[in-house]
């Protein structure tokens, strides 16, 4: 429908109908207005598979239509592969088409501020560049199928404890450099249909009522032209939400009359309400026209889930090259997760997987005959990790240890069998006081319904591991930069570590983690060389071309992730020692060399400055009391562009 027709519809709607359009019909649908031919559209979780339920249901543990369960974001982020995330989005978009879903509630791109956050499994990374690039690729994939993506949870929603009331208090620079850029990238490059306003407050103001961010930043500065939906139950003030630019309150509400009354007494401008209605109608008509309603074919989704899982597995340790295993070895698979893997997280993202393949199933299907008795085994593969009772949406963890039973199992198995391999299923980092004991450690994360096959492919060398950690694994919880201010006091969470989130802290503080961000081993070896820059100084309109040659110097084909970090000069502002700005995953045959090229712009060298400086990327930002010119300064020259390979 064209803008003029939308305008005609807005003029025909009564005040009551306009208010009604701004809240849900039920748990998942917008309201139809039949007399004007306005249809209802359906939203569904997301992000790593569809949770399609009837309008009256919102059951977190079941009841949804069976569908493909892809790897959770904690895992898929480890692929560092935009193409795979794009393919996942496309496949999900097709499934949405078949199942009548118009808007998929994902991607979830909140930054992993603390490894304790119960919902980290659903988020990509502690790094905004990685989270933004993968979230954009996924969103573009979904939207290529005529389905809307909904980027969530906007923003600074970094813990589950008091998630519906706590206030995330960080300075503007920290927000602009760490907690906002992933959203900014996706909004600007993928043009998502929708953004979900989070439960928490930002500096004392609920996200759903935060005009500075929902209108000032998102729409006026970044150019977002879709609609904003509240997280489910996140709206506390319907009138305040409309004024701020939060268009649709979900799920169903009995408070539409508050909007009508506010317009009638002049507390709310009808033009503000019209803006929200217009944005909702634009999407309703755009999405409704695109439905096809065909049968879902799960087979391609399963194969894609398997591919993503195998590219996401991170090999953390491989002493004496104990991996890959050979089929002639006697191998025992130990632990309940070998039969019944933990392959996804709990809460609103929980998918009713159409099938799940365990590692034992996969080994059997591949004709690998496993021994039952560890005493008869050359190699013991121990499947352990976190259970759903230990991490989920809705609560945070209180420590990073595995259960005492799992830790004991590692100790005892390693004491008994010198060739022990640990396979981990977990949605976020764990401490490993036992790290020296097993020969190999395989981080399989929550890898979706095909994880069993992916793990067996990696264990037996059919797939060469190529995942890289999208987050730091600290030696101990107290090393994490948010440790002293997580989960806040009396509902106020001060982001005291500022821009030193994740690896930015560890590298700057020179604090060795257990396993660093970006780390992962392979069965082959890569050599990086000939780093070249096309200039040694640049001004604000220049770009810098960087290239590096990468050679596979090992014996097998494999993939590596070239990671480009910028190391700023020391100046008047204290900055992280290095920051990821570009990455590319490449595959190389043995002996093959490829040149990887990147282009860096001013923004890649920039930090957010709260003082007026010559170069801006922030433009005018409206604060509650004053207008401040927020600018971006760029170091006049760069001392070093660091390429770092784990």
Of 577, 573, 583, the C-alpha closest to 607 is 573
Least spacing, CB of residue 232 vs ligand BGC, in Å: 4
Instruction: Report the DSSP beta bridge partners of residue 548.
Output: 596
User: Tokens 């096959």 correspond to what residue?
Assistant: 453
Least spacing, CB of residue 105 vs ligand BGC, in Å: 4
Q: How many residues does the chain have?
A: 646
Q: Which is nearer to ligand BGC, 119 or 559 (CB)?
A: 119
Say if residues 588 and 550 touch (Cβ distance below 8 Å): yes
Q: Which is nearer to ligand BGC, 88 or 409 (CB)?
A: 88
Q: Which residues contact 6 (CB under 8 A, 6 or more apart)?
A: 278, 281, 282, 285
Least spacing, CB of residue 387 vs ligand BGC, in Å: 21
Q: Does 396 help bind ligand BGC (rule: CB under 6 A)?
A: no
Q: Which is nearer to ligand BGC, 109 or 384 (CB)?
A: 109
CA–CA distances in Å: residue 100 to residues 55, 58, 476: 12, 17, 46
Instruction: Give CA–CA dist 154/532, Å, rounded.
Output: 38
Q: Which is nearer to ligand BGC, 69 or 580 (CB)?
A: 69
Q: Which is nearer to ligand BGC, 182 or 463 (CB)?
A: 182
Say if residues 218 and 245 touch (Cβ distance below 8 Å): yes
Q: Which residues contact 391 (CB under 8 A, 6 or more apart)?
A: 118, 120, 121, 345, 346, 397, 426, 427, 428
Site for ligand BGC in 94-123 (CB under 6 A): 105
CA dihedral 203, 129, 306, 120 (to 10 degrees): -20
Helices marked H in 510-638 — which ranges? Answer: 602-605
Q: Does 152 help bind ligand BGC (rule: CB under 6 A)?
A: yes
Say if residues 574 and 607 touch (Cβ distance below 8 Å): no
Structure tokens that stand for 65 in this block = 């239509």
Task: Tell me the site size for ligand BGC, rule CB under 6 A.
Answer: 6
Q: Phi-psi region for residue 334, left (φ > 0), alpha (ψ -120 to 50) or beta? A: beta
Instruction: Report the DSSP beta bridge partners of residue 248.
Output: 229
Omega before 107 within 30 of 0, i.e. cis: yes
Instruction: Give CA–CA dist 57/150, Å, rounded.
Output: 20
Least spacing, CB of residue 233 vs ligand BGC, in Å: 7
Q: Which is nearer to ligand BGC, 345 or 513 (CB)?
A: 345
Q: Which is nearer to ligand BGC, 231 or 479 (CB)?
A: 231
CA–CA distances in Å: residue 598 to residues 135, 405, 475, 595, 616: 20, 47, 33, 10, 23
* Integer-rounded Cα radius of gyration of the chain: 25
Q: Which is nearer to ligand BGC, 199 or 337 (CB)?
A: 199
Among 45, 81, 231, 396, the one annotated catalytic:
231
Least spacing, CB of residue 108 vs ligand BGC, in Å: 6
231 is catalytic: yes
Least spacing, CB of residue 400 vs ligand BGC, in Å: 23
Among 45, 90, 391, 431, binds ligand BGC (CB under 6 A): 45
Q: Which is nearer to ligand BGC, 226 or 481 (CB)?
A: 226
Structure tokens that stand for 516 in this block = 């660093």
Which string of x and - marks every residue 298-337 that binds ligand BGC (by CB under 6 A)? Answer: ----------------------------------------
CA–CA distances in Å: residue 609 to residues 390, 575, 589, 604, 629: 40, 11, 45, 14, 10
Say if residues 488 and 494 touch (Cβ distance below 8 Å): yes
Q: Phi-psi region for residue 111, left (φ > 0), alpha (ψ -120 to 50) or beta? A: beta
Structure tokens that stand for 54 in this block = 């009837």
Instruction: Give CA–CA dist 113/125, Å, rounded.
Output: 9
* Sign, Cα dihedral of 417, 418, 419, 420: positive
Least spacing, CB of residue 30 vs ligand BGC, in Å: 14
User: Tokens 């199933």 correspond to what residue?
Assistant: 361
Which string of x and - marks every residue 55-94 that binds ligand BGC (by CB under 6 A)? Answer: ----------------------------------------
Instruction: Give CA–CA dist 374/332, Å, rounded.
Output: 6
Q: Does 23 help bind ligand BGC (rule: CB under 6 A)?
A: no
Nearest residue (beta carbon) to ligand BGC = 348
Helices marked H in 490-578 — which ranges? Answer: 503-509
Q: Does 160 help bind ligand BGC (rule: CB under 6 A)?
A: no
Least spacing, CB of residue 392 vs ligand BGC, in Å: 12
Least spacing, CB of residue 152 vs ligand BGC, in Å: 5
3-state secondary structure of 314: strand
Least spacing, CB of residue 523 vs ligand BGC, in Å: 37
Instruction: Give CA–CA dist 31/21, Å, rounded.
Output: 6
Least spacing, CB of residue 356 vs ligand BGC, in Å: 22
Structure tokens that stand for 204 in this block = 């004392």
Least spacing, CB of residue 347 vs ligand BGC, in Å: 7
Residue 420: phi and psi, rounded to 5, are -105, 135
Q: Which is nearer to ligand BGC, 80 or 154 (CB)?
A: 154
CA dihedral 485, 486, 487, 493 (to 10 degrees): 40
Which string of x and - marks every residue 228-257 that binds ligand BGC (by CB under 6 A)? Answer: ---xx-------------------------
Q: Which is nearer to ligand BGC, 112 or 504 (CB)?
A: 112
Instruction: Give CA–CA dist 110/501, Å, rounded.
Output: 12
Q: Does 348 help bind ligand BGC (rule: CB under 6 A)?
A: yes
Q: Phi-psi region for residue 515, left (φ > 0), alpha (ψ -120 to 50) or beta? A: beta
Q: Which is nearer to ligand BGC, 167 or 358 (CB)?
A: 167
Give the binding site for ligand BGC (CB under 6 A).
45, 105, 152, 231-232, 348
* Residues that are catalytic: 231
């Amino acid at each position: 429908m064209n803008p003029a027709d939308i305008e005609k519809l807005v003029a025909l709607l009564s005040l009551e109908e306009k208010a009604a359009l701004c809240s849900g019909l039920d748990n998942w649908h917008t309201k139809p207005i039949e007399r004007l031919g306005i249809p209802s559209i359906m939203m569904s979780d997301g992000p790593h598979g569809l949770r399609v339920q009837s309008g009256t249901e919102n059951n977190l543990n079941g009841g949804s239509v069976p569908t493909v369960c892809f790897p959770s974001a904690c895992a898929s982020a480890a692929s560092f592969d935009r193409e795979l995330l794009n393919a996942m989005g496309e496949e999900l978009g097709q499934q949405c088409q078949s199942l009548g879903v118009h808007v998929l509630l994902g991607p979830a791109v909140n930054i992993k501020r603390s490894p304790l956050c119960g919902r980290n499994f659903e988020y990509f990374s502690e790094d905004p560049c990685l989270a933004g690039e993968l979230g954009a690729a996924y969103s573009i994939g979904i939207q290529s199928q005529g389905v809307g993506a909904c980027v969530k949870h906007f923003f600074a929603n970094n813990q589950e404890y008091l998630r519906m009331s706590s206030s995330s208090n960080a300075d503007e620079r920290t927000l602009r450099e760490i907690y906002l850029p992933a959203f900014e990238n996706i909004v600007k490059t993928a043009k998502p249909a929708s953004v979900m306003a989070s439960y928490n407050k930002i500096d004392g103001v609920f996200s759903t009522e935060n005009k500075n961010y929902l209108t000032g930043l998102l729409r006026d500065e970044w150019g977002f032209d879709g609609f904003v939906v509240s997280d489910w139950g996140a709206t506390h003030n319907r009138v305040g939400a409309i004024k701020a630019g939060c268009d649709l309150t979900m799920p169903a509400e009995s408070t539409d009359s508050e909007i009508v009354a506010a317009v009638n007494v002049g507390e709310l401008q009808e033009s503000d309400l019209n803006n929200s209605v217009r944005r909702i109608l634009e999407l309703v008509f755009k999405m409704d026209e695109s439905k096809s309603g065909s049968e879902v074919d799960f087979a391609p989704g399963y194969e894609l889930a398997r591919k993503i899982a195998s590219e996401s597995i991170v090999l953390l340790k491989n002493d004496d090259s104990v991996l890959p295993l050979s089929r002639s070895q006697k191998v025992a698979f130990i632990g309940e997760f070998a039969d019944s893997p933990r392959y996804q997280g709990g809460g609103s993202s929980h998918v009713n997987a159409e099938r799940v393949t365990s590692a034992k199933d996969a080994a059997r299907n591949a004709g690998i005959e496993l021994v039952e008795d560890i005493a008869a085994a050359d190699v013991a593969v121990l499947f352990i990790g976190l259970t759903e009772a230990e991490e989920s949406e809705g609560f945070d963890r209180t420590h990073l240890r595995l259960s005492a039973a799992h830790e004991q199992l590692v100790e005892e198995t390693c004491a008994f069998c010198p060739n022990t391999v640990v396979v981990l299923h977990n949605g976020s980092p764990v401490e490993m006081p036992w790290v020296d004991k097993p020969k190999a450690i395989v981080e399989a994360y929550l890898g979706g319904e095909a994880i069993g096959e992916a793990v067996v492919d990696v264990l037996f060398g059919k797939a060469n591991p190529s995942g890289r950690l999208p987050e730091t694994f600290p030696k101990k919880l107290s090393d994490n930069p948010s440790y002293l201010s997580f989960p806040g006091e009396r509902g106020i969470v001060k982001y005291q570590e500022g821009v030193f989130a994740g690896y930015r802290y560890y590298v700057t503080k020179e604090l060795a983690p257990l396993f660093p961000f970006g780390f992962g081993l392979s069965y082959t070896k890569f050599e990086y060389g000939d780093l070249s820059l096309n200039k040694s100084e640049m001004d604000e309109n220049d770009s810098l071309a960087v290239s590096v040659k990468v050679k596979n110097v090992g014996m097998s084909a494999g993939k590596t992730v070239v990671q480009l970090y910028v190391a700023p000069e020391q100046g008047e502002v204290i900055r992280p020692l290095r920051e990821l700005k570009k990455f590319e995953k490449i595959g190389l045959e043995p002996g093959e060399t490829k040149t990887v090229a990147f282009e860096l712009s001013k923004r890649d060298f920039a930090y957010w400055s709260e003082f007026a400086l010559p170069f801006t990327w922030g433009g005018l930002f409206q604060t509650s009391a004053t207008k401040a010119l927020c600018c971006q300064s760029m170091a006049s020259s760069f001392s070093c562009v660091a390429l770092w390979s784990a």
